Amino acid sequence: MKDLSVVIVGGGAGLGALLAGMAVEAGASGLGIIDLNGDAAEAALQPARDKGLPVASASADIGKGSDCHAAFGKMAEALGRVDTLINCAAIYPRRPILQITDAEWDASNAVNIKGTYHMMVAAVAHMREQAPRPEVRGRIVNITSVDAFKAHPQNAHYAATKAAVVSLTRSFAHEVAKDGILVNSVAPAGMATERARELGFLDELAKASPLGRGAKPVEIAEWVLMTGGPKNTYMTGENVIVSGGYIYA
């Protein structure tokens, strides 16, 4: 991420917070965090503050388009330019397929699809106006999921939203390629996180993977940073599957 100004949506915790620290260590020139939890967003900026980098945080409900555009505008104003947008924010409400309520569908669609869409719209409008660095005006990386491609119990609504984000990624990539903006997504399989441990997923992850374990979050983060970093000057519209062999595509 050397010399790139990075904004992470959902960067207050989990993979997003890990990406924030790793982006700073990789040489990012500025860092912005957008999260529903404003205190968590502020805390995730500490590695950048320690290095004296420009920073910005915003509390936003990305299920609301107005919140998305206001939060991104705050990032752009504070940082001067945004070279890489990483969309990490999502909700994962597990429920048997016959029990999913309209409210759960609406919440999943609002955050996972509409929020991602509006953040990309705001980023594209900004990136189109900035000079290339060096030959690319901007990069967008969306976190999708292998659940977009392989059925998994009790998360049909989540899987559907992630399939939608794969489609959005391709559509945006095609339309903004002429502007020098690269749009890609990264689809992880299950990660061996503390949350997965609490929910009892770790044994399930280990059994599902030919490698015998879930992914370490850093193993996913490395691919996100590569896709959104300065070495990517040509790949766009791709969905990078990082699943430890859980699926092959």
Q: Where are the domains of the chain?
A: 5-189+220-242
Q: Whose CA is closest to 181, among 117, 239, 222, 133?
A: 133
CATH of domain 5-189+220-242: 3.40.50.720
Angle of helix 65-79 relative to helix 116-127, nearest 10 degrees, comes to 40
The pLDDT of residue 102 is 97
First to last CA, the chain: 27
Q: Look up the pTM and report it.
A: 0.95
The separation between CA 180 and the C-alpha centre of its own chain, rounded to angstroms, equals: 20
- For residues 84 and 130, give the distance between their C-alpha atoms in angstroms, rounded to a whole number: 12
The pLDDT of residue 13 is 93
The pLDDT of residue 236 is 98
The pLDDT of residue 51 is 97
Choice among 92, 117, 158, 234 that is catalytic: 158
- For residues 116 and 119, give the distance between their C-alpha atoms in angstroms, rounded to a whole number: 5
At residue 237, what is the residue type? Answer: G
The pLDDT of residue 38 is 96
CB 148 within 8 A of CB 165: yes
Q: Helices in the chain by DSSP H: which ranges?
A: 14-25, 38-44, 46-50, 65-79, 102-108, 116-127, 156-176, 194-198, 202-208, 217-227
The pLDDT of residue 190 is 82
The pLDDT of residue 29 is 98
Q: Whose CA is closest to 4, among 33, 19, 34, 24?
A: 24
**Is the bond into 230 cis (omega within 30 degrees of 0)?**
no
Question: pLDDT tens, position by position, for the chain (249 residues)?
Answer: 999 999 999 999 999 999 999 999 999 999 999 999 999 999 999 999 999 999 999 999 999 999 999 999 999 999 999 999 999 999 988 899 999 999 999 999 999 999 999 999 999 999 999 999 989 999 999 999 999 998 878 889 999 999 999 999 999 999 999 999 999 999 998 887 777 777 777 787 788 889 888 889 999 999 999 999 999 999 999 999 999 988 887
158 is catalytic: yes
